[in-house]
Structure 1
Amino acid sequence: MHRTAPRLARILACAAVPVMLVASGCSSDSDPKPEKPAATGEANGGGEGSAAESAKPPVKKSPAVEREKLAKLPDACKSIPRATVEKLVPETKSKSGTAGRSTDTMSRAGCSWNSLDDNGVKGSQYRWLDVSFLRYESDEALAVSGAQRAEESFAKELSKAQGTSGAKQVKTETVKGVGEQASAVTYRLRKTGEDFSYVTVVARTENAVVSLTYNGTGYAGAEPPAVADLSKSAVSATKDAVGAVTSANK
């Protein structure tokens, strides 16, 4: 009995103290020891992550897109020599031409001339000449060069001329010696009660596209101009316009 009394007293004393003291002072020596915290690298998976990243193949960079060679366009109204304008559009209202509207003349420009040459009882001859320029820059995001964009534009402009509403006797011929590629579209078109002869020449030089249209008709009994004659003059004028693009970028 004397041996159990001290043991019983000790148990009762532990039961009377707060729970926190029970956990620290009254626990037995057989309680398990706390585990050591895991190493930082292991807890974050650093070893495996680093290995995974190093195992990833290097990102392949797309080849650089060729930079556009033509940085600007010429003054459209000065792209065709004054002597040529006077020959193709006699008695023109404005020899200096009428510039087309553009908010960015380095990417888009144009000019036109027109005239009515009155020959009295022999009738009158009407002529219209216009030239337009489009310049394209390379697009890194789409991996397309300025020249490639110009090629696409060339095809669209040519298709537009070939698909002129109401056009008859439409013919397309490849033109050599004018830029990298060029084609002439000729046709007849009746409007304002008269038969007009038309020719549109579309040419590409590097990353620029040149479109030139030349048309005419006869009034008061005068015959309309021959398509072949207009075509020859239009091709020559287009060659001048393409040359103006080259000169503007020297």
Structure 2
Amino acid sequence: MQRPAQADQRDERDQRDRRAKRLGRVLVCAAAVPVMLIAAGCSSDSDSGSDDTGGKSADTAASASASASPTVQAAAYQSLPKACGVFSKKTLGELVPEAPKSGKEGTSDDKSARASCSWSSLDNNGVKGSQFRWLNVSLLRFDSDTSRGAGDAQAQTYYETQVQDAQAVDGAKSVKSQPVSGTGDAATTVTYDLKKKEGSFKQQTVVARVENVVITLDYNGAGLAGEKSPSAATLTKLAEKAAKEAVAAVSSANGEGSGAGTGSSPSASTSPSKSPSKSPSASASPSNSAVKKS
């Protein structure tokens, strides 16, 4: 009878040991839960702080970026001279001797950005025929603009386009081009012959750039009704002289000296810009310079 009792006692001890082990495991787990919660809380606070800092940094960067918008520098020239007043009486007397005292001013909605003037001369020699001359000057000024670039860079692009257009006139014969020294920052003369119903015309187009202004001078001449054709070399010399005078007038209108050669590089203007003038219309081409009979 003792063995069964001993067996019962051993069973009770085993059961107590198992309950004690389970209780111990429960207590250990219970103790671990607060630690995990605390760690999670700390981690959450840390992440939250990091997010706030990141947000503030992003806001600061955005604000700095907004305040660092590109600064603009105004173009060198802010005005133009009166187109009909860029040439002296002496120069007009040489180029268009029989022209009226005042030229014909072109229409413009903004004379500080674009202007033009033309003169027509017909020297009638009776039965010997007559000598015709036509002179036109166009002035285009470009303002600086952050989207389009510096005024003189825009002017350089337009200058190159004008030269190319002069070289590609329909019906032009014996087209020649040559650079002109001492005339603004860049200048080119394009010469050619152009036959019209009135006669054979000698055309000279001088395109010059000074700072942010482009000057296009068209000058042509013809001997009509049996009169001999004028010398192309003489007409070219007169046209280039007049172009230098127009460049000087632009510089003078903006408070500078003669402006015959500023020496600045066409691509030297890396300064961003202000607001651009409206896109200029092309200067009068020789094909539009119809002969005006007296």
TM-score by length of 2: 0.66
Task: Determine the C-alpha separation between the residues in 1 that align with 2:121 and 2:51.
Answer: 78
Residue 68 (str. 1) matches residue 75 (str. 2): yes
| Corresponding letter in the other structure for 2:211 | E
Partner of residue 141, structure 1: 147
Task: Determine the C-alpha separation between the residues in 2 that align with 1:110 and 1:134.
Answer: 9
Partner of residue 166, structure 1: 171
Q: Which structure features the higher share of helix residues?
A: 2
Residue 205 (str. 1) matches residue 210 (str. 2): yes
In the TM superposition, what is the alpha-carbon distance from 1:230 to its structure 2 partner?
0.7
Tell me the percent identity.
44
Deviations 1:8-35 (A, max 9, x none): xxxxxxxxxxxxxxxxxxxxxxxxxxxx
Structure 1 residue aligned with 2:181, among 176, 180, 197? Answer: 176
In the TM superposition, what is the alpha-carbon distance from 1:66 to its structure 2 partner?
3.4
Change in 2 beyond 3 A, CA 1:46/1:152: farther
Q: After superposition, where does 1:215-226 map in structure 2 within 5 Å? A: 215-226=220-231
Structure 2 residue aligned with 1:128, among 125, 129, 134? Answer: 134
In the TM superposition, what is the alpha-carbon distance from 1:159 to its structure 2 partner?
1.0
More contact order relative to length (CA 8 Å, sep ≥ 6)? 2
Structure 1 residue aligned with 2:55, among 53, 56, 59? Answer: 53
Q: Which structure features the higher share of strand residues?
A: 1
Task: Determine the C-alpha separation between the residues in 1 that align with 2:112 and 2:94.
Answer: 28
| Corresponding letter in the other structure for 1:88 | L
In the TM superposition, what is the alpha-carbon distance from 1:54 to its structure 2 partner?
4.7
In the TM superposition, what is the alpha-carbon distance from 1:222 to its structure 2 partner?
1.0
Deviations 1:94-130 (A, max 9, x none): 2210000101101000000001101122220000001
Unaligned stretches of 5+ residues in structure 1: 1-38
In the TM superposition, what is the alpha-carbon distance from 1:227 to its structure 2 partner?
1.3
In the TM superposition, what is the alpha-carbon distance from 1:169 to its structure 2 partner?
0.4
| Corresponding letter in the other structure for 1:72 | S
Task: Determine the C-alpha separation between the residues in 2 that align with 1:62 and 1:166.
Answer: 50
Unaligned stretches of 5+ residues in structure 2: 1-40, 256-294
Moved over 4 A (4+): 54-58
Residue 234 (str. 1) matches residue 239 (str. 2): yes
Partner of residue 103, structure 1: 109
In the TM superposition, what is the alpha-carbon distance from 1:51 to its structure 2 partner?
2.1
Q: Is the 8 A contact 2:70 2:146 kept in 1?
A: no
In the TM superposition, what is the alpha-carbon distance from 1:167 to its structure 2 partner?
0.5
Partner of residue 189, structure 1: 194
When the two structures are aligned, how many residues end up with a matched partner? 207
Partner of residue 91, structure 1: 98
Q: Give the alignment's Cα RMSD to 1 decimal.
A: 2.1
